[in-house]
Structure 1
Amino acid sequence: MNFDPTLLETYHTLLRTTELQKAYQEFIRLFRFLRNELERQMPDFRFQSSITENAMDYAYFSFTNPDLKENGLKLVAAFDHKNFQLEVWLSGVNRTAQYRWAEQWSVCPPPMELTQKPNCTDFVVRLPVETDLSDGGKTVAAVKEAVVQLLQLLP
């Protein structure tokens, strides 16, 4: 198997000439704090045991409560690295549940976004979270507010 030497050299240069590694470590520290603090402040929810890092596409963790679980839903806190955007998703526990829920909604209030392809995306509805990521307390509060907004969509 061969790999792109130009991309590998670009990565090497970035590691050598920037604070990329330290910056990514700081992001992971922030995202773990967010997960742990939400778990502490939201005892009615059960959280995925750790964060998932997905090759710098998305980092995420999921959480659910009995009502969501009964309806085949979960919440996901996701960070889109390319767009540098924190989001909260309302997602199906699997594609079947996700498709079923996507069929029930034709629109959602902005800035929420309803999936156009429930069989291809990992969310039914996603909501961008506007916050100063350097302030952990404000970020936790903003995610909790997004959760409240998304839960209001449910019947």
Structure 2
Amino acid sequence: MKDLNHYVDIYKEQLDKGDIQEAYVGLVKYVTRLGTTLSKSLSEHYSFGSLLQGYMDYTYFYYTNDFLKKRKLKMGLVLNHSKMQFEIWLLGQTIPIQERYWEYFKSTKWNKHRTTRPQYSILETALIENPDFSDLEKLTRQIEDKLVLVTDEILKDIKQVSLTN
């Protein structure tokens, strides 16, 4: 196994080039604007939280409504940096809630390729694979349209679950 100095040297080389900083700042700014846009256009259906940046792994914000809150659930719109795709996650307020909903969702289409619960969520699904960042307005429209459709599908499935929290 390589020691930390090896990784720090590579990290510094990449930082010296400057491309990583430019890309990261651009992505975070875009997701911030996306959250603002969605909170305005979908305010009748969802309330949106602040941006969370993660550790260069995920940039995300939560969104929820009364239906989800009653069940101690929330949704996350996530930019997965390693896969460079936008995802929707269903999350529980606590691990026990996530485990209870996982029991239902593990046998649904949302988790058909999984054998274990995701680390941070009940389900994770790709929303936009290979996003095109050259036209941010178009990308925002695509994300909004798909977010509404996928979230509605997930909410429909949650309505099938009769769990008490």
1:130 and 2:128 matched = yes
- Structure with greater helix share of residues: 2
1:139 alignment partner in structure 2: 143
Give ranges in structure 1 of 5+ residues lacking alignment: none
* 2:61–2:77 Cα contact (<8 Å) kept: yes
Deviation of 1:116 after TM superposition, in Å, equals 4.2
SS of structure 2 residue aligned to 1:153: helix
**1:102-122 deviation digits (Å, cap 9, x = unpaired):** 12334222xx3266444x621
Identity value in percent? 20
* 1:35–1:51 Cα contact (<8 Å) kept: yes
* Runs of 4+ off more than 3 Å: 114-118
Aligned amino acid, residue 151 of structure 1: L
Aligned amino acid, residue 129 of structure 1: L
- For these two proteins, the number of residue pairs brought into alignment is 149
TM-score normalised by length of structure 2? 0.79
Aligned amino acid, residue 113 of structure 1: N
TM-score normalised by length of structure 1? 0.83
1:85 and 2:85 matched = yes
SS of structure 1 residue aligned to 2:75: strand
* 1:86–1:130 Cα contact (<8 Å) kept: yes
1:95 alignment partner in structure 2: 95
Deviation of 1:140 after TM superposition, in Å, equals 2.5
* 2:105–2:111 Cα contact (<8 Å) kept: no
Give ranges in structure 2 of 5+ residues lacking alignment: 134-138, 160-165
Deviation of 1:136 after TM superposition, in Å, equals 2.4
Q: Please, what is the CA RMSD of the aligned residues? A: 2.1
1:76 alignment partner in structure 2: 76
Q: Partners in 1 of 2:121 and 2:132 — Cα distance?
A: 22
SS of structure 2 residue aligned to 1:21: helix
2:7 alignment partner in structure 1: 7
